[in-house]
Amino acid sequence: MTMNKLMILSMCLGLLMTVPVQASGLTQAQRLVAHDLKNYAPGTDPKSLTRAQLDHIYLIMHSRRTESDKRNLIKSAIGGPNTLRGLLFKGQN
C-alpha cells in the first residue's frame, strides 16, 4: 500500500470514528472492529479498547497480511500478560 493510500485510509477512518455513540451503545469505531474481532481475539470486548487500539486493529484487519499475522498483531495491539506490550508495561496502569 502506498503512503498516499495509507494516509487517505487513515483520514477516512478518523472521520468515521467521530460518529457519536449509536443505540447499540457502541461507537462507530467499536462497531467497525467488533464483528471481526471475535475471529482474531475471542472474548475481547471492543468497549474495553482505546480509540488508538481500535484504529490500529481496524488497519491490521484490512491489511494484506496473512490471517496468522493479523491474529498475532491484533493480540499484540490489545495487550495482555503474554504479549510484548504486556511484558513491557506490566503494572503501569
pTM of the model: 0.62
Residue 85: all three cell numbers together: 506490550
Instruction: Find cell 493479523 and name the residue.
Output: 70
**pLDDT tens profile 28-81:** 888 889 888 888 988 888 888 888 889 999 999 999 999 999 998 898 888 765
Amino acid at 48: S
Residue 16: all three cell numbers together: 468515521
pLDDT at res. 61:
92
pLDDT band at 27 (very low <50, low <70, confident <90, very high): confident
From the CB of residue 73, how many other CB atoms can be counted at a distance below 10 Å?
Answer: 18
Residue 92: all three cell numbers together: 503501569
Chain-centroid distance of CA 41 in Å reads: 10
Q: Say if CB 32 and CB 58 are below 8 A apart.
A: yes
